[in-house]
Structure 1
Amino acid sequence: MSTQIESPLIQLSNISRRYQMGSETITALDKVNLCIQRNEYLAFIGASGSGKSTMMNILGCLDTPSEGQYMLNDKNVAHLQDLELARTRNQEIGFIFQSFNLLARATALQNVMQPLIYRGIRPTERKRRALDALQRVGLSQRIDHLPNQLSGGQRQRVAIARALCGEPSILLADEPTGNLDSATTKDIMALFDELHAEGQTVILVTHETEIAAHCRRTVRLSDGRIQSDEWR
């Protein structure tokens, strides 16, 4: 009896990204090859200019590579048109940003429901999913609060709930603790640890080794190339 080998969630093959700056060509990523399986907990780490932000943009379908193949859930998304790319982002990626990116005049519940509107999900189902996500991040008592009525840690929890609400294949977090104090950072990273333990694929982009240390795998970038790929 043969055992079917599960294909990677993400497979990057010879991914390069170049930008034209006047007469100069800047290579942000240079022939990167990488596989990421489902339920991995991975950090991309590197100094400013190492290529980690470009990597996040490519993985999150916010940008397309100049060359190479990006397989996401068995679909080549490397050169999709904008509409298809947006649909893939909405269905596959849950984004979490350093600056939270919450709507200032919307409650926590409304912020979390927002991405589901674009999927055409009915209001009752949107609310059910949003309430579940807010409970999952420990904010069921704050659903009617506006962002300015929440602490930094609570705002980031709302952002995480918003990302989870769409049931994404990947949670993709860009410097998710950059605006938080050390105690709140510890709480947010504990939440990421829990989400990974529950089966969520979590990918962090960070320049902090303390944050990367939470992850099971650390990929260090330098000058647009993978310098090291370590498991723990």
Structure 2
Amino acid sequence: MLKLEDITKRYVMGGETIHALHGVSLDIVRNESIAFIGASGSGKSTMMNILGCLDRPTSGRYWLNGRDVASMDENELADIRNREIGFVFQSFNLLPRASALHNVMHPLIYRGVKPALRKKMAEQSLERVGLQGRMHHLPNQLSGGQRQRVAIARALVGTPSILLADEPTGNLDSSTSADIMALFDELHKEGQTLILVTHEPDIAEHCDRVVRLADGKVISDTRKEVMA
């Protein structure tokens, strides 16, 4: 499903070259749940940006569902982000003056989905995350956990092949974090491919596979044993 081959990413800042990723190679298969974990500066944010087609590697190859990302122009990249990848961010990134329903409907505008169908799909997505009673609330009328559920509903509304979550519990208390991770666990059990980026080991442990990054390199790649 996803294949990274010898991925390197370099930035030039203030005349200094920063090596964010060094020759990373790995495969991510469909229906897998995987966490990238590491301290600040480990390269995990750069990894997220490349996996999410938000940035391009300096060198190396990245294939997403069999397509070579390097060969895509900006319009194709925008389209693949809209259709193939659902993003969930730590800061929620909700439109403050739009209801939960309209926040979830918003990505479907860019797909050309007609208004009536947009509404139906958004309602179903909000129901899926347990917010059927909060559809017409504004973000400032919702708790942090509810806002994150709206963000997850928005990510899921277009049935993406990949759900990519960047520090999805970073702004939540421990009880609310547990609720959100339980929702991610349920989505994965239903077949959703899930990629988490986190610095928290207890969050990473929810995934079947944990890839640890340090100084832009993969230092460990472990999978949970499957019980017979």
TM-score after normalising by structure 1: 0.95
Residue 8 of structure 2: aligned partner: 16
Query: Aligned letter for 1:204?
Result: L
From 181, 195, 205, give the equivalent of 1:203. Answer: 195
Question: What are the superposed Cα offsets for residues 37-83 of structure 1, whole Å, 9 maximum, x if unpaired?
Answer: 00011100000000000000000011001111110000011352222
Give 1:1-232 correspondences, 5 Å limit: 9-232=1-224
- Give the whole-Å Cα distance in 1 for the aligned partners of 2:13 and 2:180: 38
Look up the SS of the partner of 1:142 in the other structure.
Answer: coil
- Give the whole-Å Cα distance in 1 for the aligned partners of 2:18 and 2:71: 20
Query: Aligned letter for 2:214?
Result: S
Question: What are the superposed Cα offsets for residues 110-148 of structure 1, whole Å, 9 maximum, x if unpaired?
Answer: 000000100111111111111111010000111000000
Please say which of residues 13-22 and 213-222 is displaced more in the overlay.
Answer: 13-22
Cα deviation for residue 85 of structure 1 reads 1.0
Query: Aligned letter for 1:13?
Result: E
Look up the SS of the partner of 2:70 in the other structure.
Answer: coil
Kindly tell me the number of residue pairs found equivalent between the two proteins.
Answer: 224
Look up the SS of the partner of 1:189 in the other structure.
Answer: helix
- Give the whole-Å Cα distance in 2 for the aligned partners of 1:169 and 1:27: 30
Look up the SS of the partner of 1:31 in the other structure.
Answer: strand
Look up the SS of the partner of 2:78 in the other structure.
Answer: helix
- Give the whole-Å Cα distance in 1 for the aligned partners of 2:122 and 2:67: 28
TM-score after normalising by structure 2: 0.97
Cα deviation for residue 196 of structure 1 reads 0.1
Which 5+ residue runs of structure 2 have no aligned equivalent? none
Which 5+ residue runs of structure 1 have no aligned equivalent? 1-8
C-alpha root-mean-square deviation of aligned residues, in Å? 0.7
Query: Does the aligned pair in 2 maintain the 1:90–1:115 contact within 8 Å?
Result: yes
% identical equivalent positions: 68
